[in-house]
Amino acid sequence: MISEKDRKEQLKAIKKENARRYREYNRNKNKKVAESTYLTEMKDDSNLLEIEDLHTCFYTDIGTVRAVDGVTFNIPKGKTVGVVGESGCGKSVTSLSVMRLLQEPQGQISFGSIRFNSKDGKPVDIAKASIKAMEKIRSREISMIFQEPMTTLNPVLTIGKQIDEVLELHTDLKKNERYQKVCDLISMVGISNADRIYKMYPHELSGGMRQRIVIAMSLACDPQLIIADEPTTALDVTIQAQILELMRDLKDKISASIMLITHDLGVVAEMADIVVVMYAGRIIELGTTRDIFKDPRHPYTIGLMKSRPNMIGEDEKLYSIPGNVPNPINLPNHCYFKNRCESCIGKCNNPYPGLVSISDTHKVACWRFIEEEAK
Amino acid sequence: MSEKEKTLELIDLKKYYPIKKGVLQKVVGHVKAVDGVSFHINKGETFGLVGESGCGKSTIGKTIIRLTPPTAGQALYKGTDIFSLDKKSLRTLRPHVQMIFQDPYSSLNPKMPVGEIIGEAVREHGIVSDKDYREYVMNIMKICGLRPYHIDRYPHEFSGGQRQRICIARSIALNPDLVIADEPVSALDVSIQAQIINLMKDIQQRNGISYLFISHDLSVVEYISDVVGVMYLGSLVELAPKKELFKHPAHPYTQALLSAVPVPDPDVKMNRVLLQGDIPSPVNPPSGCKFHTRCPYAKPICSEVTPEFKEHAPGHKCACHLYNDGSWV
């Protein structure tokens, strides 16, 4: 336990350090970034996005929160990657980092690279790209679908105007061409009577319709990657089924990749080809959907599967993972799941385990498997 | 079934919200939020109420504890009609019927310490003597998995799961017979959800409480309930014991609802009954069977005649023209 006085001193030092960081950020914000600094090479050309050792931090007045702490995974072309985890595990921050929509300067990518295979054949490192370069990538190459369709749409603009705005900014289409394209987009997401919807306001539509409009908007410039952050959480199950069906259809139609962020294991099992399980800012397990659901290895993944009441199960007690997610400030220097884990071994006191391969596609971060490998 | 003691019985409950327009606030129509719902809850059992948003399930919960006055119908709590009670007798009834709300962040007073949140009503209703008061609150907290030193802390110091434990502690501190739980786990993470559901089941076994469990999550309802009612646009479309309902759903809406739930197993490819369109507006519900606009099996009769809510098997009721005596026509 530290004394009150020491704690105050500590907080003062943190504030000072943060102020220095913000000043530095503001100084560099408007500097020109040469193209050569952010052009890179892809490790594997069949990947659309390669995230490598990404660290995203939030500098708060009571300490640094490492929201994303060394995340590495790839999104292959034409595949759906599902990112699952509980609230606060860093899944949304990962997606915001890819879009560079973090609330800067408090939140910054402090280390790592995000390599994106852009349409014109010049791979870009998003983590280093300039603001200008990002404007070209957003919407044209990567677009995003947010959780709450009512807050995503502007309540005082008509639906048509909002979709039109995307096209106006990112394409050279003429006004009447754009109108035709907007109507095409609206009918593409399964809404009939596009002319009428064009003139409507968001409040006149139901939740499911609004989410369809948001999807139409994200598809406006034929992006290669669609990031969907909990796209169906705010919707009812029957509407959720419709939206998931629609996303599956459209993905094949425009041959894009999807990064699907959700906490619902059922949605992931249905949609994803590859699953990434996150816990407290790190990836704890990664593999194909079959790997994760048929052969989960990490105690957290197993616990998550067991704690879900399934529709076939009988009346026995529900399994629940004991304890809570650790405080994101001052995380311990061992496996973050150690205190909640039931299959702890002596080695768990060692520093945080890295990802070990179980098969070609399946990786897990747990000391129990590092042990096995050594034998 | 009939020998069991009924804790609560709803008879033809109706709740219409008027739509007012113009300077004179003339009533131009009604939103039929709840339109003739009847069911009962047995002592020590859980009644699960499921349906999509806007189908009136939360309104039923609110009407039972008279947070909003009903338009018509009766709610019999152990034989006495809750709706006909005056203010004074309603107050003596309050400790017996309690409610747990969905969002544990907005249902706790941020300015009150936890001990006060749980204990305020205990003191008001004189459940225990002043001497034993603090000990009693501590004991309730212990049952709900909170630590004794939490008693003087404020809600903002707790996580979502712990807050929901406080809400549960507050409701069971008065030894209620019936707890209305309105989406108690929807705002929580999966691993925390399991903890709260287990806690609710434990308390039920210990105190013999009845629950009215309102939720849109079918797998949670399937787990906790004894009897399940499915609502659509203000009316019950199907009511059956849990096992019966989930094994042999009779109403097309129940079938669609069940098949829409994503299963966490990549090998299961379900024959999905995909519903078209959205839930219609409750201001102008469709004629005849309210579900006919989205029903994949709709016949001409469905849009003309309102189907009866008939009992097909013991305890299994269903409102559908196409389902008769346990089989599809």
Give the orientation angle of helix A237-254 with respect to helix A207-219, to 10 degrees. Answer: 10
How far apart CA B41 and CA A209 sit, in angstroms, is 37
pLDDT in tens, B204-256: 998 899 999 999 888 889 889 999 999 999 999 999 999 889 888 889 999 99
pLDDT at position B1 is: 46
Three-class SS of A326-355: CCCCCCCCCCCCHHHCCCCCHHHHCCCCCC
pTM for the model: 0.84
Residue of A nearest to B162 (CA): A324
Cβ atoms of residues B38 and B12 within 8 Å: yes
Verify whether the Cβ–Cβ distance A263 to B189 is below 8 Å. Answer: yes
Of all helices (H) and strands (E), which one includes residue A5?
Answer: helix A4-29
Residue B227, pLDDT score: 94
Picking from B220, B266, B274, the nearest residue to A245 by CB comes out as B274
In terms of Cβ atoms closer than 10 Å to its own Cβ (0-12, 13-18, 19+), residue B38 is middle
Which residue type occupies B139? N
The residues on A that touch B, with CB distances below 8 Å, are 86-87, 206-209, 236-242, 244-245, 263-270, 289-290, 293-294, 303-305, 307-311, 313, 317-321, 324
| DSSP H helix total and E strand total for chain A | 14, 12
pLDDT category of residue B270 using cuts at 50, 70 and 90: low
3-class SS of residue A124: strand
- Residue B300, SS3? helix
Does residue A312 surpass a pLDDT of 70? no
Nearest to A137 by CA among A198, A235, A21, A49: A49
First to last CA, chain B: 28
Task: Report the gap between the CA of A242 and the closest CA in chain B (Å).
Answer: 7
The domains of chain A are located at 142-220, 280-374
8 Å CB contact of A244 and B261: no
- pLDDT (tens digit, 9 = 90+) per residue, A72-110? 999 999 999 999 988 888 888 999 999 999 888 888 898
Q: Flag whether pLDDT at A324 surpasses 90.
A: no
pLDDT for A373: 56
Cα A274 to Cα A268: distance, rounded to the nearest angstrom: 9
Task: Count each helix (H run) and each strand (E run) in chain B, helices first.
Answer: 9, 14
Q: In this complex, do B274 and A290 lie within 8 Å of one another by their Cβ atoms?
A: no
From chain B residues 249-268, the ones with a CB under 8 A of any chain A CB are 256-267
% of chain B exceeding 70 in pLDDT: 97
What pLDDT does residue B60 have? 93
Q: What does pLDDT average to over chain B?
A: 88
User: What does the pLDDT read at residue B327?
Assistant: 66
Q: Is the peptide bond before B252 cis (omega within 30 degrees of 0)?
A: no
Q: How far apart are CA A137 and CA A116, in angstroms?
A: 10
Residues 6+ apart with CB under 8 A from B195: A320, B145, B161
E-only strand ranges, chain B: 6-21, 26-42, 46-50, 72-77, 80-81, 97-100, 178-182, 210-215, 227-232, 235-241, 310-313, 316-318, 323-324, 327-328
pLDDT score at A151: 85
Establish, for the pair of chains A and B, how many residue pairs have beta carbons separated by less than 8 Å. Answer: 112
Of all residues in chain A, the percent with pLDDT exceeding 90 is 36
Could you give the ipTM of this predicted complex?
Answer: 0.80
CA B219 to chain A, closest CA, distance in angstroms equals: 5
Could B219 and A310 be called an inter-chain contact, meaning their C-beta atoms sit closer than 8 Å?
yes
Interface test with A, best of B102, B191, B258 (most A CBs within 10 A): B191
Whole-number pLDDT of residue B273 = 76
Residues of B in contact with A316 (CB under 8 A): none
Cβ contacts of residue A328 below 8 Å, gap of 6+?
Answer: A65, A66, A67, A88, A280, A281
Which has the higher per-residue pLDDT, B154 or A369? B154
Mind telling me how many Å the CA of A266 is from chain B's nearest CA?
4
Q: What value, to the nearest 5°, has the Cα angle with vertex B100 and ends B111 and B95?
A: 90
pLDDT at A310 over 80: no
Is residue B314 scored above 80 in pLDDT?
A: yes
Q: Which DSSP letter does residue B280 get? A: P
Looking at residue B83, the DSSP 8-state letter turns out to be G
**pLDDT (tens digit, 9 = 90+) per residue, A327-356?**
777 788 888 888 888 888 888 888 888 888
- First-to-last alpha carbon distance for chain A, in angstroms, is 41
- Tokens describing residue A39: 């052009």
Task: Label residue A90 left, alpha or beta by phi (over 0 means left) and psi (-120 to 50 means alpha).
Answer: left
Q: Per the CB < 8 Å rule, is A244 touching B262?
A: yes
With beta carbons under 8 A apart, name residues in chain A contacting B262.
Answer: 240-241, 244, 264, 266-267, 269-270
- From B177, B169, B174, select the one nearest B127 (Cα to Cα): B174
Q: How big, in percent rounded to 5, are the helix, strand and coil portions of chain A?
A: 40, 20, 40
- Report strand pairing: B80-81 vs B235-241: unpaired
Pick the residue from chain A with its C-alpha nearest to B158: A324
Token couple for A245: 């069906």
Q: Would you say residue A154 has pLDDT above 50?
A: yes
